[in-house]
Amino acid sequence: MAEGHRRLVAVSNRVGPLNDEGKAGGLAVGLSDALKRRGGLWFGWSGNTSSKGTFSEAATEIEGDVALTTIDMSEEELSGFYYGYANRSLWPLLHYRLDLAEFDRQSDRIYRSVNQRFAARLSQMLEDDDLVWIHDYHFFYMGSELRQCGFRGKIGFFLHIPFCPPEIFTALPASHDIVRAMLAYDVIGFQTDTDRRNFANFCVRELGGEKLPGHRIRVGDRVVVADTFPIGIDAPGYARFAVSPEAGEHEEMVRGMVGDRLQIIGVDRMDYSKGLVERFRGFERLLEEYPENRGNVQFLQVAPLSRSELDAYVELRRELEELAGHINGRFATLEWTPLQIMTRGFTRRALAGIYRAARVCLVTPLRDGMNLVAKEYVAAQDPDDPGVLILSRFAGARSELTEALVVNPYSTDDVARALQRALTMPLEERKRRWEQMREAVFHGTAAHWCDSFLDRLENADNEADGSAAEAFVEAHPS
Ligand code: ADQ
């Protein structure tokens, strides 16, 4: 283990990769960097199902001072925990989509039991002074379960997706149980101040808690830190990707394909939170209202399929394909197809080249924790000829990327107007806006996110106001 630091133990649903083979996202980049510096353990699901499920033998890969340890889930656990509670109840609800959220007792039970099983397995691997960092909505109960297993060290939690207002969150039958369980964490991290405030308001209004100075919250005897830690990307690394030979090839390919036309790009998992239907309608409105763009712009939407086992996602794919067909049918000519949709994955280098070839990037989620695509697009630009970012006011990235063209993603007219403005923006303005955004992306990197969260967690004792882990366990017997 690296000197002067406690061992870091990270928990997330999917583990790794530790070495960037070109496909890692923000969570993996930030965590693997910290794990390599400190030495540590990364624990999560193997990605496989087996009959023994969470009782299966753990598999461990060692790389230097870091161990990657995973366990399986059974089919029943996967279906109730992952497809059921995490992605049918929590994901839509936390993204403000009460209309899509489904609640059932069976998946609630399985979600709790998988959290308990993961905690039981992990607790056998923990040392007293480990620093445990749990990630995302899959594991809300895990901290309190680790306390029940006897772990008394520091435990932090980071929520990668939004935390909705209490008026929405209370629709979840287990909302009180979840937030009470979260009080077992020493530090709870959110992407934006809005998410942090929503959580604090829930504690105050629903649990009779009190906001304290320094972004701390008291509920009963327990004081926790709940603060904002916006996630970033490895900006210098990403900027290097963008000038790599592989990126260059892809940039040339796209430029060759579009010729003299201007390229508009969108890159999102195919998820209803990303606002793709509304975005396609905004593009259609551009072609209607500003006909000079017909034949002169090309929109490429890269949308890898995700969670295709769930009905809402199957329905979304059908709707998008239909809408793309409608727009192309309406405007295409023999030599021009306005909109292309592509579901394949790319390496990070290839994607960086594709971003660099695009004059405009459309990032218009209806709600998004942060949105790393926005930051990647900025990092990948050519400083002499940067493109324009159009960003939803409901993406977490909006609070840092203040020089993007900010839109209301629900407004077709607003999206069309912003597209027109971006497509006609003079080079000087593009450069000026890009400089501010580049500054922000290079300042708030993945390493910065990781270090600031872990510093806060290491110092949490000094802030906790005498609310030791023992007090939590006494107040919340199993
Ligand atoms: P996501 O919802 O997955 O993440 P996002 O932050 O945009 O959203 O990250 C997507 C990542 O996947 C990006 O790094 C992007 O480059 C990559 N990607 C997308 N399409 C790809 C393709 N076809 N090929 C290769 N790579 C592709 C969740 C939250 C976000 C939050 C992140 C991190 O929903 O709000 O920003 O976690 O905390």
**Domain regions of the chain by residue span:** 8-232+446-475, 236-443
Mean pLDDT of 381-399: 98
252 three-state secondary structure: helix
Query: Are 319 and 279 spatial neighbours (Cβ–Cβ below 8 Å)?
Result: no
Ligand 1 centroid distance, CA of 268 (Å): 7
Q: How far is CA 248 from CA 264, 387, 431, 456, in A?
A: 18, 16, 21, 40
Q: What is the pLDDT of residues 38-84, one digit of tens each?
A: 889 999 999 999 999 999 999 999 999 999 999 999 999 999 999 99
Q: Looking up tokens 């399986």, which residue turns up?
A: 72
Span from the CA of 462 to the centroid of ligand 1 (angstroms): 35
The predicted model gives 379-388 an average pLDDT of 98
Ligand 1 touching residue 8 (CB < 6 A): no
Pocket test for ligand 1, best of 91, 300, 371 (most atoms within 8 A of CB): 371
Cβ(394) – ligand 1 distance below 6 Å: no
Nearest CA, atom 38, ligand 1: 160
Cβ neighbours for 70, distance < 8 A, ≥ 6 positions apart: 15, 43, 44, 45, 46, 47, 58, 59, 60
Position 111, amino acid? Y
Could you tell me where the beta strands, DSSP code E, fall in 174-248? 187-190, 210-212, 216-219, 222-228
Give the mutation target among 164, 372, 376 for probing the ligand 1 site: most ligand atoms within 8 A of CB.
372
pLDDT, mean of residues 386-407: 98
**Equal fold, 8-232+446-475 vs 236-443:** yes
Is the model's pLDDT at 21 over the cut of 90?
no
475 touches 222 (CB < 8 A): yes
pLDDT bucket at 474, cuts 50 / 70 / 90: low
CATH homologous superfamily for 8-232+446-475?
Answer: Glycogen Phosphorylase B; (3.40.50.2000)
pTM for this predicted structure: 0.96
**187 strand-pairing partners:** 156, 225
Q: Which atom of ligand 1 is nearest to the CA of 342?
A: 23
Answer for the pair 352, 247: CB distance below 8 angstroms, yes or no: yes
For 282-316, b/e burial (b = at least 16 CB within 10 A) is bbbbbbeebeebebebbbbbbbeeebeebebbeeb
Backbone angles phi, psi at 156, to 5 degrees: -115, 160
* Å from CA of 17 to ligand 1 middle: 15
Does the Cβ of 92 fall within 6 Å of ligand 1? no
Cα-atom radius of gyration of the chain, to the nearest Å? 23
Q: Looking at residue 466, what is its pLDDT?
A: 45
CATH superfamily of 236-443: Glycogen Phosphorylase B; (3.40.50.2000)
Catalytic residue annotation = 160, 368
For residue 38, the model assigns a pLDDT of 83
| Amino acid identity at 52 | K
Residue 456 DSSP label: H
